[in-house]
C-alpha cells in the first residue's frame, strides 16, 4: 500500500469484537441449538414457551423472542399457529452417532496415495451429485466482491511492492490475520506469520521443519487423506490416534503413544476435524497442549474449518494456549472465503523463521495480487457478514442431509452431528464395502468419499464421508434416496 492511502483496519476487529461480546439472545439461541443438536430436544418436540423460558432462564421475553426468531432463521425450529415453537420435524427417526474409533497402537508405513488419487480422479466429473467433493459449493462465496477487492488492490499496489511482498508476504494481509487472531484471544506477533500457498503448503512446510524421513508422526484416525499423502511423500510413518466423533482425539491413547514411541510431531485438527467434524473442548485442548509440552513434541494444528462453526462461539485453537511456541497453527481462506486464491498461512511459533526460509526455497511466495486482494477484502469487504451467512447456509444444509439420511438410509446407519463444517461421516454396518458403494454410486451419477482413503491402515471400509456444502435441492434428495437403496442392497 502506498503511503498516500493509510490502512483502515477498524472495520474488521470491531465487527468481530461485537460478535465476541455476543448478544444475550444469541447466547440463549446457542444453548437451545445445542440441546437440539445433542438430541435433548427431539424433532417435533415443543421448545419452552416464551413465558416459561423467560422465567426459568432469567432472560427477558424479548430476548427469548429474538432467540427463537434466530433459531427459526437457522432452520432449527418452526412456529405453529397458536401452539408456539417446535423443533423441526426433518429428522423423524434420527440416526445414531458413531462411537470412538478403535485404537491400533502401532506405527504404519503409509501407502495410500495410489488409492487416494484413483478415488479423487473418479470424483472429478462435474455432472455427478458432489457428495464426495472436498469443497463447499463455490456459489456460497462472495466472488464478485472479491473481484472488486482485487481491482482495488491492483490499482494501489506499487510495482516495487510486488517484488517486496514476495519475500515478506503482504504486510496488510499479515496485519489483518494477526488482528483476527487477537480478536479470538491469540496474541501473535506478526513475525510469526508466514503466508503460504493455501494451508496445504503450510502443513507441508511445518512437517518438513520438524521431521526427517523415517520419523513417526501422530495423526488422527480417521484423518484427512492429504495428510496421509504428505506423510507418504516425506517417507514418514503414521501413528494413528483414535478420534471420538464429538469430543475429538483420545488423549489417553495419545499419551500412551507419546510415552512408548519416539513421535516427532502431531498433526491434528482440534476443531471441526475432517472427516468426523469433532471439536475438542477448550479444557481438552489445554490438556492436549500440556501433554505435548511435557513430551516437547510440536503440534501442527490444521485449523482450516475453524471459521465454519455453527452458533456464535468461535472455537479456540490449541494455539491459544501456546506459551512455548510449540504449536504451528495452519489455516487458509480456501474454505471460508476465497477458494482458488490459494492463500493460507501458518503461525509458526518457534519454527516460524525456519518455515519462512523453507518456503523461499520451494515456492518463494504465493501470488502477490491474490494476497493484496484478500487484504483489501478483509478491510473493506464485510468478511464477518459473509461468514454469518455462510454458517447459516451450511447449518441448514446439514439439517437437510441429516433428515434425508434418516428417511432413506437403513436404521442401523450411524452418522455424526458436527457443530460446523460441511461433512457428515456415515458408519454403515461392518459388512458394507464403501469402495464398492462408490463404484455403484458413480454409475448412478453420485459421488462420495469412501472410508479407506482416510486411514493409513486402510480401515473404515464400512464408512463414508458425505459433503453437504452444496445448496440442498430435489436432486440431492433423490441422490440420498438412491444411495440408501444401494446401501440396503449391499447389506
Nearer to a copy of itself, 292 or 372 (CB): 372
Residues belonging to the chain: 491
Nearer to a copy of itself, 105 or 234 (CB): 234
Interface with a copy of itself by CB under 8 A: which range of 23-31, 96-104, 142-150, 375-383? 142-150
d(C-alpha 331, C-alpha 315), whole Å: 14
1 part of the interface to a copy of itself, by CB under 8 A: no
491 part of the interface to a copy of itself, by CB under 8 A: no
For cell 511459533, what's the residue? 349
The site map against a copy of itself for 102-141 (x = CB under 8 A) is -----------x---x------x-x--------x-xxx-x
Cβ at position 302, least distance to a copy of itself in Å: 14
**Cis peptide bond upstream of 222, omega within 30:** yes
Of 125, 130, 138, the closest CA to residue 340 belongs to: 138
Query: H helices of 38-170, where?
Result: 50-57, 61-73, 113-122, 143-156, 159-168
Nearer to a copy of itself, 186 or 203 (CB): 203
Cβ at position 304, least distance to a copy of itself in Å: 12
Nearer to a copy of itself, 4 or 361 (CB): 361
6 part of the interface to a copy of itself, by CB under 8 A: no
Residues 6+ apart with CB under 8 A from 4: none
Nearer to a copy of itself, 14 or 117 (CB): 117
471 part of the interface to a copy of itself, by CB under 8 A: no
Q: Which of 28, 268, 321, 341 binds a copy of itself (CB under 8 A)?
A: 341
197 part of the interface to a copy of itself, by CB under 8 A: yes
Of 281, 262, 342, 276, the closest CA to residue 305 belongs to: 276
Q: List binders of a copy of itself among 201-230 (CB under 8 A).
A: 201, 204, 213, 226, 229-230
Q: List binders of a copy of itself among 19-78 (CB under 8 A).
A: none
For residue 424, CA distances in Å to 239, 416, 465, 474 come to: 24, 6, 6, 19
Nearer to a copy of itself, 58 or 144 (CB): 144
Nearer to a copy of itself, 169 or 245 (CB): 169
Of 325, 326, 335, the closest CA to residue 303 belongs to: 335
Q: Which of 150, 276, 304, 347 binds a copy of itself (CB under 8 A)?
A: 150
Of 316, 340, 352, the closest CA to residue 146 belongs to: 340
Of 157, 155, 150, the closest CA to residue 374 belongs to: 150
Q: Is the dihedral of CA 63, 68, 73, 76 positive or negative?
A: positive
171 part of the interface to a copy of itself, by CB under 8 A: no
Backbone φ and ψ for 78, nearest 5 degrees, come out as: -140, 150
Q: Is the Cβ–Cβ distance between 231 and 263 less than 8 Å?
A: no
DSSP class of residue 185 equals: T
200 part of the interface to a copy of itself, by CB under 8 A: yes
d(C-alpha 293, C-alpha 313), whole Å: 27
Cβ at position 458, least distance to a copy of itself in Å: 18
Task: Point out which residues bind a copy of itself (CB under 8 A).
Answer: 113, 117, 124, 126, 135, 137-139, 141, 143, 146-147, 150-151, 154-155, 159-160, 162-167, 197-198, 200-201, 204, 213, 226, 229-230, 233, 339-343, 357-358, 360-370, 373
Amino acid at each position: 500500500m502506498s503511503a498516500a492511502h493509510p490502512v483502515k483496519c477498524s472495520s474488521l476487529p470491531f465487527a468481530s469484537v461485537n460478535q465476541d461480546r455476543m448478544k444475550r439472545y444469541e447466547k440463549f439461541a446457542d444453548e437451545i441449538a445445542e440441546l437440539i443438536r445433542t438430541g435433548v430436544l427431539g424433532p417435533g418436540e415443543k421448545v419452552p414457551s416464551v413465558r416459561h423460558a423467560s422465567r426459568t432462564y432469567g432472560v427477558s421475553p424479548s430476548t427469548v423472542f429474538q432467540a427463537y426468531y434466530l433459531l427459526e432463521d437457522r432452520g432449527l425450529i418452526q412456529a405453529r399457529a397458536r401452539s408456539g415453537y417446535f423443533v423441526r420435524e426433518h429428522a423423524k427417526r434420527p440416526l445414531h452417532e458413531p462411537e470412538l474409533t478403535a485404537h491400533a497402537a502401532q506405527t504404519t508405513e503409509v501407502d495410500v496415495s495410489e488409492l487416494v488419487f484413483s478415488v479423487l480422479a473418479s470424483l472429478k466429473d462435474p455432472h455427478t451429485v458432489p457428495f464426495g467433493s472436498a469443497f463447499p459449493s463455490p456459489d456460497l462465496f462472495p466472488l464478485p466482491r472479491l473481484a472488486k477487492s482485487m481491482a482495488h488492490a491492483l490499482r494501489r499496489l506499487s510495482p516495487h511492492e510486488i517484488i517486496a511482498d514476495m519475500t515478506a508476504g503482504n504486510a496488510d494481509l499479515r496485519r489483518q490475520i494477526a488482528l483476527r487472531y487477537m480478536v479470538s484471544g491469540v496474541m501473535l506477533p506478526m513475525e510469526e506469520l508466514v503466508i503460504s500457498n493455501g494451508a496445504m503448503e503450510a502443513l507441508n512446510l511445518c512437517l518438513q521443519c520438524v521431521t526427517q524421513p523415517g520419523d513417526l508422526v501422530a495423526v488422527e484416525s480417521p484423518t484427512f487423506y492429504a495428510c496421509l499423502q504428505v506423510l507418504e511423500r516425506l517417507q514418514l510413518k503414521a501413528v494413528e490416534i483414535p478420534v471420538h466423533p464429538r469430543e475429538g482425539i483420545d488423549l489417553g491413547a495419545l499419551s500412551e503413544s507419546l510415552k512408548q514411541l519416539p513421535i516427532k510431531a502431531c498433526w491434528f485438527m482440534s476443531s471441526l476435524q475432517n472427516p468426523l467434524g469433532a471439536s475438542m473442548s477448550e479444557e481438552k485442548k489445554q490438556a492436549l497442549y500440556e501433554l505435548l509440552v511435557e513430551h516437547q513434541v510440536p503440534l501442527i494444528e490444521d485449523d482450516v474449518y475453524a471459521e465454519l462453526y455453527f452458533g456464535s462461539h468461535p472455537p479456540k485453537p490449541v494455539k491459544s494456549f501456546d506459551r512455548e511456541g510449540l504449536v504451528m497453527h495452519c489455516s487458509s481462506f480456501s474454505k471460508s472465503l476465497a477458494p482458488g486464491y490459494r492463500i493460507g498461512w501458518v503461525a509458526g511459533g518457534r519454527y516460524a523463521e525456519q518455515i519462512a526460509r523453507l518456503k523461499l526455497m520451494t515456492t518463494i511466495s504465493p501470488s502477490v495480487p491474490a494476497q493484496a486482494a484478500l487484504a483489501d477484502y478483509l478491510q473493506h469487504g464485510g468478511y464477518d457478514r459473509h461468514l454469518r451467512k455462510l454458517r447459516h447456509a451450511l447449518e441448514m444444509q446439514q439439517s437437510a442431509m441429516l433428515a434425508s439420511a434418516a428417511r432413506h438410509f437403513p436404521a442401523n446407519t450411524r452418522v455424526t452431528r458436527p457443530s460446523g463444517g460441511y461433512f457428515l461421516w456415515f458408519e454403515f454396518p461392518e459388512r458394507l464395502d464403501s469402495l464398492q458403494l462408490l463404484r455403484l454410486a458413480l454409475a448412478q451419477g453420485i459421488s462420495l468419499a469412501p472410508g479407506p482413503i482416510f486411514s493409513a491402515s486402510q480401515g473404515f471400509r464400512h464408512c463414508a464421508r458425505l459433503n453437504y456444502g452444496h445448496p440442498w435441492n430435489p436432486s440431492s434428495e433423490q441422490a440420498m434416496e438412491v444411495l440408501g437403496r444401494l446401501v440396503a442392497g449391499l447389506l
